[in-house]
Amino acid sequence: MLPRPTHVPRNDANHFSVPTLPVEIWLQILENTQNAELLWNSVRLVSTKHKAYVERVVLSRFIPQASISLSLPRRDPTTGALLYRGQIPGAELSVHYTETGEDKTHVAFRTNKVGHDGISIESLNGVDFLSQRRLEDATSWLWFGCNRAKGVNVTMDKSLYWDESEKTWVWNLDWRKLLNAYVKAKNSKKRPIKSGKTVKKMRRGGVA
């Protein structure tokens, strides 16, 4: 639970002041908040200090729990023409957070060295199987923790490269842009639902 704001007198009821708490207390409160969307959409916008608190918590707690599934295409979505002849087991490949860059802005997501079926990722590399273009054409499903079902499709520019020393594909990205894409996708899924009474009233010519 986030602390309740301290309300000011009624003549200024549209405004409220934020409780003054030590940084450690705010961080502890925010770290116990399970909803990344709430933190990013609301708390982060309260003040410059709260923006710094939220970004610190999101980078240290939420981003390390992030995973992205890349749904690998075989055909052109417009024409249906076959683009990639090779079939990848499961038709997808997941990348997981591995590290944060020195600039604290970019983070690295990597594939595993071996797929779920025991086949090495390196052996799948090739124009018709697993190429940079095919990975970058893939749709991206982002989720946090173990609950993949609560994820969303995110739209972001992708730039992956093959790390020969680690034998994995790497996607370096701006984690703030990733959160913005996540929140935008979450918001787009929300649709206002009118009650049955409101719909009936509208049909009868009433004002909703």
Does this model's pTM top 0.95?
Answer: no
Instruction: Name residue 201's amino acid.
Output: K
Mean pLDDT of 97-122: 92
CB 169 within 8 A of CB 110: yes
Q: Does residue 196 register a pLDDT over 70?
A: no
Give the separation between CA 56 and CA 160, rounded to whole angstroms.
26
Q: Does residue 81 register a pLDDT over 50?
A: yes
